Chains A and B, each alone.
Chain A
């Protein structure tokens, strides 16, 4: 049940995603402002708040990037209005500059920064442990273990942050953000949505002020650490000679592992929710009388290091194990938690009957693919074709979005994919050192606004010859169709071509990616221009994300006319199923093509790429009439 559907309830138990639970907690704490840039696994925090914003009367937006979102919320909190922002782990890198300074200014009312990390990199380019940001920014970090606790903690942290007048980080991982579980609802108060800003030196970090704030900040962190000794979400239970310490999702696994190993009540467990800073007195109390401490921890040994340093400082000689037993890469599992505790206790492993390896089957991989109707398919199909046919030596600096999938065969058109905005930025460098190569960058609309523009300004100002392909599907598709500044809202949007011309790009062309002849022609022209003039050229490929267009068609009751292969005409060339590679087009045993009517969405993009015109709609269809849904 979504946050919106349960908005009127003020009691009872419902099933929420971890992220929805955080959003609900924010509402129950009277949040007034929320903003974020999307990123898996964080998106549903703001995604669910934006759905109820007008019902509750709060301000919620999808911002241009994480830093912009952070600053908007920070200003609200500085003015006495409770605010929450949420981002994926790498998003906090983008907002890190703001995070550092926010600790120096502090806040007037609660400010929560949700960092959703992605152990095992289910949807990410790296695996970083953002709890470490606590160490460097002096922002305290908290980790819940299930949706129910996430809601209570969020609510509590708003009060806590108000009390200490300091931003706090609520750190989740994929397995909390995207786990659905029971949450007990409470009432939603009327939110405070306007405030007032009291100017003062704390908000003006010129060096003379910042130096004073730095000392204040160190004192503040110490006070926060003391305060956390009474933090009600931390808890010690069970008793024995072994102390097991775990936080967040690792505690969820640890507590099950302890029961499964038959150790319930026979070991002492310290469940931490405040993972940075760890309150010293609590740790000292927890280690009293134990022989050994084992930390069950995912990713970096942050808890372990703090525990070690507390014990060292107090001259307590208890053996601590962690790093040597915990695997540092990938996410925690029940098996892993069990193994760590078993090995710490020197227990042998129990082998259980496996469901046999008698029979083998090599199961084909199933990487994600462009959806049927995706405008990127004809685009990359044609780019690959022209590059092969014209024997163009090119390097494709790619970026992060649905188009990253062009890395996979048959297109193979992403030579780099590193971080958001990294396409145009790397291409600037390639253009300086790869002199006999056509340098191309590929970037989506949302990513372009997010981090592409500064690199483009550099390309124009310093004349870096590169062909920039802006893939404008008018939405942030990969993360679940949040709006980008290209999304039309009552006709309002930020037109990419105007922006690019304003920066000073002379070669700008807007192309429909379904029009493969024009894709080819404009791409070759742009290459010629960059070669001759030694300047950047921009091609904007514009057509809506197929999922959005098809949704709008369905809602308007437009009949979807699917396509079929005329088997009398098909010459088995395989272009459609081998190189165009739409999931709806399959190869039949005789080598001819066939279209799966269940998967075909009637986009018609495959029709022009068939050399013998064998692909046709099953009945007359006026594609012109449908054009309005695609633009």
Chain B
């Protein structure tokens, strides 16, 4: 565990996609390693299919729940439009791991195309990593577990830059939900593998530099 300062993570998506659970997985994992977190959750109105943003702040120096705009190190985007809405929370050269799923806001005939959103995100001065979490989760018969795949993706990133070590897997196995555990473990591993193959060693060095500037 190399976390000496703080790690700020934004989790976004559409109400019902499991942002809260994903945030708790992150905080619970770090707690098992002895590092506290604060999670600013979104409840109430916005959970009814609305736009959701959760702030996860990991580290011993963290006192307050909200991450200032432009200071998140990592964004986990469970949905494309919501990832675009909140991408300004990321700092320059921050990392966005985004699920390639677009959910049309109900009752609106949407003209925005998936390609436009992807184009927008890829033009930002950030490191964009795309994953197919929803697709993978659906194909394993657990469509609501896209968040577990995303969690795997995050763990792979944090392992690559040395914040987490591979022995994390046994901790993760103990905190994943017992229901459908086999599918969830599989998704977690797939998410990890997915990001590992996407990250070249040069890139890892770059991200490491950015994250460790303050870590």
A355 touches B94 (CB 8 A): yes
Residues of A whose CB lies within 8 Å of any CB of B are 1, 13, 15, 17, 40-41, 122-123, 145-146, 175, 178-182, 249, 252-253, 255-256, 259, 333-335, 352-356, 358-359, 361-371, 402, 405, 408-410, 478-480, 577-578, 581-583, 586-587, 598
A410 touches B24 (CB 8 A): no
Alpha-carbon distance between A281 and B65 when the two chains are bound, in angstroms: 31
Given contacts A181-B38, A364-B110, A582-B106, contact A355 B70 (CB under 8 A): yes
Q: Is B132 at the interface (CB under 8 A from chain A)?
A: no
Alpha-carbon distance between A20 and B43 when the two chains are bound, in angstroms: 14
Given contacts A259-B61, A359-B123, contact A178 B50 (CB under 8 A): no
Which B residue's beta carbon lies closest to that of A411? B107
Q: Is B15 at the interface (CB under 8 A from chain A)?
A: yes
12 contacts between A and B (CB under 8 A): A40-B45, A41-B44, A181-B36, A182-B31, A249-B65, A335-B68, A361-B116, A369-B48, A369-B105, A409-B107, A577-B107, A578-B109
B24 touches A180 (CB 8 A): yes
Q: Is B136 at the interface (CB under 8 A from chain A)?
A: no
Q: A364 — which chain B residues lie within 8 A by C-beta?
A: 81, 105, 108, 110, 112
B46 touches A583 (CB 8 A): no
A369 touches B106 (CB 8 A): yes
Which B residue's beta carbon lies closest to that of A333? B66
Q: A40 — which chain B residues lie within 8 A by C-beta?
A: 43-45
A355 touches B125 (CB 8 A): yes
Q: B62 — which chain A residues lie within 8 A by C-beta?
A: 256
- Indicate which residue in B39, B45, B105 contacts A365 across the interface (CB closer than 8 Å): B105
Scan B8-34; emit 1 where CB is below 8 A from any A CB, else 0: 000000110000000110011001000
Q: A333 — which chain B residues lie within 8 A by C-beta?
A: 66, 68
Alpha-carbon distance between A479 and B44 when the two chains are bound, in angstroms: 6
Alpha-carbon distance between A598 and B134 when the two chains are bound, in angstroms: 11
Which B residue's beta carbon lies closest to that of A88? B44
Which of B82-90, B152-160, B201-209 touches A?
A: B82-90
Looking at the assembled complex, report how far the CB atom of B56 sits from the nearest CB atom of chain A, in whole angstroms: 9
Q: B81 — which chain A residues lie within 8 A by C-beta?
A: 363-364, 366
Alpha-carbon distance between A310 and B129 when the two chains are bound, in angstroms: 56
- Indicate which residue in B42, B117, B138 contacts A178 across the interface (CB closer than 8 Å): B42
Alpha-carbon distance between A364 and B66 when the two chains are bound, in angstroms: 24
Looking at the assembled complex, report how far the CB atom of B12 sits from the nearest CB atom of chain A, in whole angstroms: 11
Q: Is B140 at the interface (CB under 8 A from chain A)?
A: no
For chains A and B in complex, what number of residue pairs have CB atoms within 8 angstroms?
161
Looking at the assembled complex, report how far the CB atom of A396 sits from the nearest CB atom of chain B, in whole angstroms: 18
A123 touches B66 (CB 8 A): no
- Indicate which residue in B36, B41, B85, B94 contacts A363 across the interface (CB closer than 8 Å): B85
15 more A-B residue pairs beyond the given contacts A181-B65, A366-B14, A598-B138, with a C-beta to C-beta distance below 8 A: A17-B41, A40-B44, A252-B63, A256-B62, A334-B64, A334-B66, A356-B124, A363-B84, A364-B108, A366-B82, A366-B105, A367-B105, A368-B50, A578-B109, A583-B106
Q: B47 — which chain A residues lie within 8 A by C-beta?
A: 368
B31 touches A371 (CB 8 A): no
Looking at the assembled complex, report how far the CB atom of A479 sits from the nearest CB atom of chain B, in whole angstroms: 7
Looking at the assembled complex, report how far the CB atom of B48 sits from the nearest CB atom of chain A, in whole angstroms: 4
Given contacts A146-B63, A355-B126, A410-B107, contact A15 B31 (CB under 8 A): yes
Alpha-carbon distance between A402 and B44 when the two chains are bound, in angstroms: 10
Scan B42-78; emit 1 where CB is below 8 A from any A CB, else 0: 1111111111000000000111111011100000000
Alpha-carbon distance between A365 and B104 when the two chains are bound, in angstroms: 10
Q: B27 — which chain A residues lie within 8 A by C-beta?
A: 15, 180
Please report the total number of B residues contacting A with Cβ < 8 Å: 59
Q: A362 — which chain B residues lie within 8 A by C-beta?
A: 112
Given contacts A359-B124, A366-B14, contact A146 B43 (CB under 8 A): no
Which B residue's beta carbon lies closest to that of A404? B45
Alpha-carbon distance between A180 and B65 when the two chains are bound, in angstroms: 9
Looking at the assembled complex, report how far the CB atom of B85 sits from the nearest CB atom of chain A, in whole angstroms: 5
B84 touches A361 (CB 8 A): yes
Q: B123 — which chain A residues lie within 8 A by C-beta?
A: 358-359
- Indicate which residue in B63, B88, B106 contacts A256 across the interface (CB closer than 8 Å): B63
Of all A-B residue pairs in the complex, the 7 with the closest CB atoms, nearest first, are: A123-B44, A40-B44, A368-B48, A581-B107, A583-B106, A368-B50, A252-B64
B117 touches A361 (CB 8 A): yes
Q: B92 — which chain A residues lie within 8 A by C-beta?
A: 353-356
Q: B65 — which chain A residues lie within 8 A by C-beta?
A: 175, 179, 181, 249, 252
B70 touches A354 (CB 8 A): yes
Alpha-carbon distance between A249 and B63 when the two chains are bound, in angstroms: 9
Alpha-carbon distance between A478 and B104 when the two chains are bound, in angstroms: 23
Q: Is B196 at the interface (CB under 8 A from chain A)?
A: no
Given contacts A581-B107, A598-B143, contact A352 B70 (CB under 8 A): yes
Q: A363 — which chain B residues lie within 8 A by C-beta?
A: 81, 84-85, 112
- Indicate which residue in B68, B116, B125 contacts A334 across the interface (CB closer than 8 Å): B68
Scan B83-103; emit 1 where CB is below 8 A from any A CB, else 0: 011011011101000000000
Which B residue's beta carbon lies closest to that of A181? B38
Q: Is B185 at the interface (CB under 8 A from chain A)?
A: no
Alpha-carbon distance between A402 and B24 when the two chains are bound, in angstroms: 27
B38 touches A356 (CB 8 A): no
Q: B105 — which chain A residues lie within 8 A by C-beta?
A: 364-367, 369
B82 touches A355 (CB 8 A): no
Alpha-carbon distance between A259 and B5 when the two chains are bound, in angstroms: 13
A586 touches B41 (CB 8 A): no
Looking at the assembled complex, report how far the CB atom of B117 sits from the nearest CB atom of chain A, in whole angstroms: 7
- Indicate which residue in A179, A256, A578 contacts B39 across the interface (CB closer than 8 Å): A179
- Indicate which residue in A181, A402, A581 contacts B106 across the interface (CB closer than 8 Å): A581
Looking at the assembled complex, report how far the CB atom of B119 sits from the nearest CB atom of chain A, in whole angstroms: 8
